[in-house]
Structure 1
């Protein structure tokens, strides 16, 4: 059986992932990138009950791109239907009609803006 490697690379972001015995996140000497993604990575995989996802961050500019990489990798490996949805400044991970994870920038989002209902 061959090992499956997942990769996303563009001018600003580069991530490599694979599946093994436990969840693991590393970065190439970029402490800022590691600090930016470690909490979200571990909370997301724990919340989704994912075991074995190992990711290396080579370059990071966009948290949305990183989350999309994680969602697509989990979908492919575990045959799930997770979606990453942008909503009022947040990144939402959903599966069917269930909201499973919310990422907000460090500055947060005004609650009134986030929960605003469209006028009828």
Structure 2
């Protein structure tokens, strides 16, 4: 019988993961590279990426994208922000990228989501 292999790499400590997520939240509006996170962790990029995925269940990129969506959702009710501003403040490269990611995750476009929010308010 074939033995199942668990992902290689060590898990990140809780304090290190907290430090990394705080770093990510603090720089969410700007580009964040895996190399930066690895450097913050004093690890090679490859080792960091494997350890991060083992700890969180997600790649650093997917985790960061989820954080950006969470940020966007908190900004969506603010009528004084355009959707382009929401995208920018959340760290998406542009509104089109934001719309693609948002629709894939939420099932509706950001504009449709915002309209639903206004109707229910």
TM-score, reference length from structure 1? 0.27
TM-score, reference length from structure 2? 0.27
Over alpha carbons, which structure has the higher Rg? 2
